[in-house]
Structure 1
Amino acid sequence: MTTPPPPNPDSDTEPAPSQAPHPLERSRFGGTGQRPERAASDNAPFSRSDLSKGKEELLEHPAVRISWRVLIGASVVILAFSLWAIALPEGARTTMKAVVDWIATNLGWYYVLTMALVIGFVVWVAISKEGDVRLGPDDSRPQYKLGTWVAMLFAAGVGIDLLFFSVTGPVVQYLHPPSGAGGSAAAMQDAVVWTMFHYGIAGWSVYALLGMAMGYFAYRWGMPLSIRAALYPLLGKRVRGPLGDGISAIALVGTVFGVATSMGIGVVLLGVGFSLIFGLEQGLTLQIALVIGAVVLTIAATTSGVDRGIRWISELNLWSAVAMMVYILATGQTAFLLNALVENIGQFLVTLPARTLQTFAYEPGSSDWMGSWTLFFWAFWLAWGPFVGVFLARISRGRTLREFVIAAITAPVLCDFIIVSFFGNSALYEVLQGNTAFAELAVQSPEQGWYALLAMFPGAMFLIGLATFSGLLFYLTSANSGAMVMSNFSASIPDPSQDGPKWLRIFWALLTALLTVAMLLAGGVVTMEYATLIFALPVTVIAYLVMASFYKALRMERAEREGQVLRRPSLAPSGGQVPERSWKQRLGQLLTFPSQREATQFLERTVRPALDDVAAEFRNQGYEVERGTVSSASGMEGPLLHVSMQALRPFDYQVALVQAPVPTFSGKMARDTDVYYRLEVVTQAGSGGYDLMGLTKRQVIDDVLERYEAHLASLATASEPRPASASR
């Protein structure tokens, strides 16, 4: 529809009353809400208004620019490692094994504690009041329907490695558990649950942490979709300099090793499938050919503009995985698989807290098991975190933090559980039937064991073909989207919906392929596990920094939402400007705390007439307007202006009478026994966090128009089409 221009009512100004509330009050985090003085060298933001400067401070140029220090630094590390592994494969494998043994023995507790804290942090975000904060402006809404969004979450965070470990994991944990006797009833009960634990909430909590942090600063504050932007509240302008470049380079190196590990596992698994289907000879040659094929397809997608086809493939891999699970359930041990799935999930939920902090300190030689399983997976998720986090953020604009976290650690995790349980319990069923040859194959050669299990089902070649096709889709989307994210991390990109230059994507595709081949030459999957565990260690520091930075930003959100009013004009949460006040009005606010009677009188004498004038002008412009009264959460009534906009979201402007404790620094009354009253503006976006007390009638009218203008801008933003992202 064509929206008429906003009204422009004209009314006389009024003198400011002598009584006005103090705009500052103590937040729940302590302090008075006043902005403290800081040293000139401290560039970290202290308020939401400071965060609004982040877009300008992080972006020196409006166009995409290469971060050469990040690109060169990360490239040198990866290239040096690749050449070392190719030139001295045995020495590389031996050295990495020694480093991993040291990490598993001395730093296993650190990885375990890090993941436990990440889980606790994202759960806290979901259940706290800040869970209502959106990844975008307060009035933004999701782009995708819930079902579509959940499906995209799964596709974004699942790779071919899940198929690889879904058989070997449960069999190994049954025959060689971390504690107790192998082949026992207790080991059988825990076998699948351990693999579910490794593919469960912990990994998706890392994705959720980095995804919501990057998405929050990109869509709510207009910063780049990057790790360094997520650290802006902690480091300020310094994230744009060498410190930020170093952090970005660490995240980039970890991401490259994570993607290379996934690709390496993928070619090892797919090599067996291609051999069975096409009669090709298994071995390193076929594996390298598959790596080259992925690079060729990535370059073709980049140079020919067929990214939409790649995105279509990323959605197709979800349906192929579903088809594979349905086939296994229908043609396998249906009742056993369903019973086992329910029991596995129950056992997982009951034992999750203990497993999360389990280090096997009292088990001799447990560091070998921890290094090969739990620590490897924790390192793998940390390395993949920035990569998957970008995609989760891209598809989640407009979602609340609560929606984002709950969906990320439940729906995709349940899908992972189904895959692991169906494959793992099918494998365990064969082992229980006495098929020792299969059990040994699954332990010694996981890729052979996976296909050996598929060969036992009716219509084996069909299932093998379907499984290989599904794995190939996971593999190709990981290679293509991995190159895209790496190019983004090595460039400065103002628009979160844009990607890095095409040539940079090609460069990273080639370098990742070289690293994958190097690790295949140096020992295959085991060497990849070593490299991931080593290079993910610095990424744990980034996880801590992101949690600290995001927590600080949420403290600012909470302080604003709990009634702190900025002492200078700034952006209000709904997008407009906090009403300008003269210096006398500002001083009046600093010195007075109105009673309920005084606030009510101001409401009747100034605010309601102002809203009446605006409503009259809206009607003159042809709008359908309602003037009413609504009750706030405290039960006190306030006026409401409701403007219908036909098919579009209506505009609401409500003034709520809010009771607040008097700050202790006032020097007049005791905070524990005395309160004052505020007139807070509430729109569809929630409380604006500022007070109308002390304004003139004209200033109130101007504020209504500011809110209305912000509402029109949000409608225009919500209607803009946004491209879908590729998925892992």
Structure 2
Amino acid sequence: MKRVSSVFYITAALILIAVLLGAFFPIEAERITTDLNAFLSRTFGWYYMWIMLGFIAVSVFIAFSPYGKIRLGKDKERPEFSTPTWIAMLFSAGLGIGLVFYGAAEPLLHSFSEAPLSEPGTDQAIKEGLMFSLFHYGLHGWAMYGLVVLCLAFFQFRKGEPGLISSTLKPLFGDRMKGPLGKAIDVLATFATIFGVATSLGLGAAQINAGLEHLFGLETNFATQFIIIAIITVLFLISAWSGLSKGIKYLSNTNMALAVLLFVSLLFIGPTLLILDLFTESFGYYLQNIIQMSFRTAPLGTDNRGWLDAWTIFYWAWWISWSPFVGMFIARVSRGRTIREFMTGVMIAPTVLCGIWFSTFGTTAIGVQQSGVDLTQYAIEVMNFHMFANLPFSFLLSLISILLILTFFITSADSATFVLGIQTTKGSLNPAKSVKIVWGLALSSVAIVLLYVGGLTALQNTVIAVALPFSFIVILMAISLLKGLHTELRSMKKRKKV
């Protein structure tokens, strides 16, 4: 604990206060988060839409500009991890539990229960349901991730700065980033990381509980979820203790193997031709309508604003709250790649994979729904398992799904402890194991308290509240990155002339 910074103690104190307040005043905490969520969604919905589209524009510009040839590291450095392993790490760290949690439920609900545009249950609503699912997991989120990752990796590995959010803003604020202002920014990034990841852990615990109840009759309640989180905490702390190259690498590859197994199984067990047809058409719809969807704010009374707040605004906030965690982790595993290679990979590969995933799970769920089984009557966390119940090999599919959630849970928490360690040890790439254990316990504590306070609703409300202040930091990071890349490119041209 000798190398920890003041950010560690400040953030730890804030997290402890938040956990205690939630534990002792759950009713008040739920009311406050609900009211705050309603205010922020209504007041800043337009803002979220603008900045997420802006992140795409900046990311595409950087990737295909002359900046794209700059390497994230020294000129002779090459990637540490193979491309398949790197993509597996992107997938595991960048999405994880959300894919399994919402894979069937989101397209199904958009099509039959909460259709954003067309009449629920119609063919048009089904196409739009898949289109909006791809929208929420497509270019917007990955472009924003890529921008944060690129900023961190460029300043850390190319310019030799510490791996801290505050260090990326030096081109704008200079040495002030070494003082109280820099500390405040790092505290905010750490705080956002903890609550963003804790939201996913809470979702994972809820779905594991639902799966165990469906398969083995284990009761779904807070006590069971508490035990699940406690057991998994021990597992991911063991992984965190083993280090990045062992624990996270092997878990990421295991994740990918289980995800591919579940995906391929469902692709062939489900309505294969319909899946492929709907993926093709919905992906085309997505590309055709991306601008219109990006500016949709539902300003009038007949525009279904509640759907927008519950889905799109929540997703944009969730992506932003995850960005410091994902940014630092993916930056660490992306060292040695060129900017163009990195940005192309981080935007295109996950977007296509998410499109295929949601089309497979969503179309299969829609097929079950149209056969006469009403899946929309069930809670989101259990929809997957009721869908599997109407397919061949249902027990095996459910078991694989639970194992996948479990490995996603462990990988996300393991990666997060590593990133939180970097943020609170002055940018050290090898934070002390004791620091990672503290943050692992903090993540689990926050997830438990959020589930106790208000379940899944509290998880969503908290993410939106935490993401707003950090979104301003991401905008500053983008400006700082452009300034740093411009300076670096001029230096490279001068060196070539000498």
**Structure 1-normalised TM-score?**
0.66
Post-superposition shift, 1:80? 2.2
- 5+ long unaligned stretches in structure 2: none
Equivalent positions of 1:708-723 (< 5 A) are none
Post-superposition shift, 1:302? 4.3
Post-superposition shift, 1:139? 2.9
Alpha-carbon deviations, 1:251-282, whole Å to 9, x = none? Answer: 11111001100000000000122233444222
Q: 1:499 aligns with which of 424, 430, 451?
A: 430
Distance (whole Å) between structure 2 residues aligned to residue 453 and residue 94 of structure 1: 34
Alpha-carbon deviations, 1:24-78, whole Å to 9, x = none? Answer: xxxxxxxxxxxxxxxxxxxxxxxxxxxxxxxxxxxxxxx972111x123222332
Q: 1:468 aligns with which of 384, 399, 402?
A: 402
Distance (whole Å) between structure 2 residues aligned to residue 194 and residue 292 of structure 1: 35
Equivalenced residues, count? 497
Post-superposition shift, 1:294? 2.1
Larger Rg: 1
Aligned to 2:288: 350
Alpha-carbon deviations, 1:568-590, whole Å to 9, x = none? Answer: xxxxxxxxxxxxxxxxxxxxxxx
1:486 and 2:420 aligned? yes
Q: 4+ residue runs of structure 1 moved beyond 4 angstroms? A: 302-307
Higher relative contact order (CA 8 A, sep 6+): 2
Aligned to 2:278: 340
8 A Cα contact 2:211 2:382, kept in partner: no
Aligned to 2:98: 161
Distance (whole Å) between structure 2 residues aligned to residue 311 and residue 346 of structure 1: 34
> What amino acid is the match of 2:72?
L
Post-superposition shift, 1:301? 3.3
> What amino acid is the match of 1:519?
L
> What amino acid is the match of 2:456?
V
Aligned to 2:486: 555
Equivalent positions of 1:329-728 (< 5 A) are 329-364=267-302, 366-436=304-374, 438-441=375-378, 445-494=379-428, 498-563=429-494, 688-691=495-498
Distance (whole Å) between structure 2 residues aligned to residue 521 and residue 472 of structure 1: 20
Aligned to 2:121: 183
Distance (whole Å) between structure 2 residues aligned to residue 405 and residue 64 of structure 1: 36
Equivalent positions of 1:66-105 (< 5 A) are 66-68=4-6, 70-105=7-42
Q: Indicate how the Cα distance of structure 1 residues 220 and 306 shifts in structure 2: closer, same or farther if over 3 A, else same.
A: closer
- Three-state SS of the structure 1 residue aligned to 2:103 is helix
Q: 1:123 aligns with which of 60, 75, 80?
A: 60
Q: Indicate how the Cα distance of structure 1 residues 95 and 493 shifts in structure 2: closer, same or farther if over 3 A, else same.
A: closer
Post-superposition shift, 1:180? 3.8
> What amino acid is the match of 1:536?
A
Distance (whole Å) between structure 2 residues aligned to residue 240 and residue 294 of structure 1: 37
Post-superposition shift, 1:306? 9.3
Query: Percent same amino acid among aligned pairs?
Result: 31
Aligned to 2:70: 133
8 A Cα contact 1:65 1:491, kept in partner: yes
Alpha-carbon deviations, 1:476-524, whole Å to 9, x = none? Answer: 1111211121121111135xxx322111111111111111111111111
Q: Indicate how the Cα distance of structure 1 residues 292 and 312 shifts in structure 2: closer, same or farther if over 3 A, else same.
A: same
1:207 and 2:145 aligned? yes
Q: Indicate how the Cα distance of structure 1 residues 71 and 147 shifts in structure 2: closer, same or farther if over 3 A, else same.
A: closer
Distance (whole Å) between structure 1 residues aligned to residue 496 and residue 249 of structure 2: 41
Post-superposition shift, 1:219? 1.1
Aligned to 1:571: none
- Three-state SS of the structure 2 residue aligned to 1:492 is coil
Aligned to 1:173: 110
8 A Cα contact 1:258 1:383, kept in partner: yes
Alpha-carbon deviations, 1:637-662, whole Å to 9, x = none? Answer: xxxxxxxxxxxxxxxxxxxxxxxxxx
Aligned to 1:300: 238
Distance (whole Å) between structure 2 residues aligned to residue 545 and residue 126 of structure 1: 19
> What amino acid is the match of 2:443?
T
> What amino acid is the match of 1:524?
G
8 A Cα contact 2:368 2:390, kept in partner: no
Distance (whole Å) between structure 1 residues aligned to residue 314 and residue 163 of structure 2: 27
- Three-state SS of the structure 2 residue aligned to 1:91 is helix
Alpha-carbon deviations, 1:128-152, whole Å to 9, x = none? Answer: 1111111012232333343443333
- Three-state SS of the structure 1 residue aligned to 2:73 is coil
RMSD: 1.9
- Three-state SS of the structure 2 residue aligned to 1:179 is coil
Distance (whole Å) between structure 2 residues aligned to residue 306 and residue 347 of structure 1: 39
Aligned to 1:624: none
Post-superposition shift, 1:111? 1.0
- Three-state SS of the structure 2 residue aligned to 1:171 is helix
Distance (whole Å) between structure 2 residues aligned to residue 395 and residue 363 of structure 1: 46
> What amino acid is the match of 1:120?
A
Q: 1:150 aligns with which of 87, 93, 96?
A: 87
Distance (whole Å) between structure 1 residues aligned to residue 198 and residue 85 of structure 2: 29
Post-superposition shift, 1:82? 2.0
8 A Cα contact 1:64 1:493, kept in partner: no
Distance (whole Å) between structure 1 residues aligned to residue 299 and residue 85 of structure 2: 44
Richer in strand (by share) = 1
Aligned to 1:216: 154
- Three-state SS of the structure 2 residue aligned to 1:271 is helix
Alpha-carbon deviations, 1:71-118, whole Å to 9, x = none? Answer: 232223322222222222222212211111111111101111111111
> What amino acid is the match of 1:539?
F
**Structure 2-normalised TM-score?**
0.95
Post-superposition shift, 1:153? 2.4
Richer in helix (by share) = 2
Distance (whole Å) between structure 1 residues aligned to residue 332 and residue 121 of structure 2: 45
> What amino acid is the match of 1:286?
T
